[in-house]
Amino acid sequence: MAATQLSSRKTPEMKKSTPAIPRKKQAVVYFGRVPHEFSEKEIRVFFGQFGRILKLRLSRSKRTARSKGYGYIQYELAEVAKIVGETTNNHFIAGKPITVKHMTPESVWPKLFEGHNRKFRDVRPTLEAKRRKLHNSKTHEATGADKIDKDAKRAAKMAELGIEYDFSRKVITDDTKAVIEEPKPVEEPKLTRSTRANRAAKNKTK
């Protein structure tokens, strides 16, 4: 009876292949608690000391473009990202420790670096100028309204005493007469003795 020969090749049902993880997903680092004054340029200079950076995204406010102090970096090599996560965590920048973690491939979602190359402009000075202008206009309106209200109250009190007062014209009137504020007379400058003597000499010569 001939012995049955078994093939050493695995059938498709026996193969259990594990999908390979892209190396780009293994080379991502999260950083946080970075000073808000730091822009992408300063962050790239600091983290670029360890290896080549492919992508960098600093999270910013959509309204003011102000930095939120955290973001993500994708290195060219996964080994570099791992070293950065181990050595720079709790590193002090501007007197404060920062947070740096090497992200697992599972935590790297497809849109993590969406808009990483977008240029932002700090619009806080413009918003602050608009806020001050609005505040000043409201203050001016409120001041004018308060002045009119006070003048009305004063006029009502003076009307009770039989006196009518027009604040805009500066005229005081009662039942018998009207008194209008007149300008004060201008005093002529006093002449000194030397000035008098000079004038007398000029008159003699004439």
pLDDT of residue 59: 94
Using only C-alpha atoms, what is the Rg of the chain?
A: 42
Amino acid of residue 193: R
Q: Which residue has the higher pLDDT, 148 or 142?
A: 148
How does DSSP assign the chain, residue by residue? Answer: -PPPPPP-SPPTTT--PPPPPPTTGGGEEEEES--TT--HHHHHHHHTTTS-EEEEEEEE-TTT--EEEEEEEEES-HHHHHHHHHHSTT-EETTEE-EEEEPPGGG--TTTTTTTT------HHHHHHHHHHHHHHHHHHHHHHHHHHHHHHHHHHHHHTT-EEETTTTEEE-SS-EEE--PPPPPPPPPPHHHHHHHHHHHHH-
Mean pLDDT of 81-107: 95
Distance CA(92)–CA(103), nearest Å, equals 21
pLDDT of residue 158: 76
Mean pLDDT of 98-123: 87
pLDDT of residue 6: 45
Predicted confidence (pLDDT) at residue 10 exceeds the cutoff of 60: no
What is the band of 113 on the pLDDT scale with cuts at 50, 70, 90? very high
pLDDT of residue 184: 61
Mean pLDDT of 37-46: 94
Distance CA(18)–CA(15), nearest Å, equals 10
pLDDT of residue 46: 96
Predicted confidence (pLDDT) at residue 179 exceeds the cutoff of 60: no
What is the band of 14 on the pLDDT scale with cuts at 50, 70, 90? very low
